[in-house]
Amino acid sequence: MSYDYSVELPLAPHGKQSVRTGKGFAYTAPKTRRWMQDAAMLFAAGLPRSVLEPPYNVLIVAVVDRPQYMLKRYKDGRAKYGDGLLLAPAKPDCDNISKAVLDALDRHITDDKDVVDLRVLKLYREIVGLPRVIVRIRQETGDPTESANSALA
| pLDDT digit string, tens, across residues 113-139 | 999 999 999 999 999 999 999 999 999
Read off the pLDDT band of 107 (50, 70, 90): very high
What's the rounded mean pLDDT across residues 19-28?
Answer: 85
pLDDT of 114 reads 94
pLDDT of 1 reads 61
What domains sit in the chain, N to C, each tagged with a CATH number? 4-17+28-141 (3.30.1330.70)
| Contact present, 94 and 120 (Cβ < 8 Å) | yes
pLDDT of 75 reads 94
pLDDT of 141 reads 82
Residue bearing the bigger pLDDT, 149 or 16: 16
pLDDT of 110 reads 86
| pLDDT digit string, tens, across residues 29-83 | 999 999 999 999 999 999 999 999 999 999 999 999 999 999 999 999 999 999 9
pTM: 0.90
User: For residue 12, what are the contacts with CB-CB under 8 A and spacing of at least 6?
Assistant: 64, 65, 131, 132
pLDDT of 64 reads 98
Among 68, 59, 71, 62, which residue's Cα sits nearest to residue 123?
Answer: 62
Read off the pLDDT band of 108 (50, 70, 90): very high
pLDDT of 44 reads 96
Cα–Cα distance, 137 to 52 (Å, whole number): 9
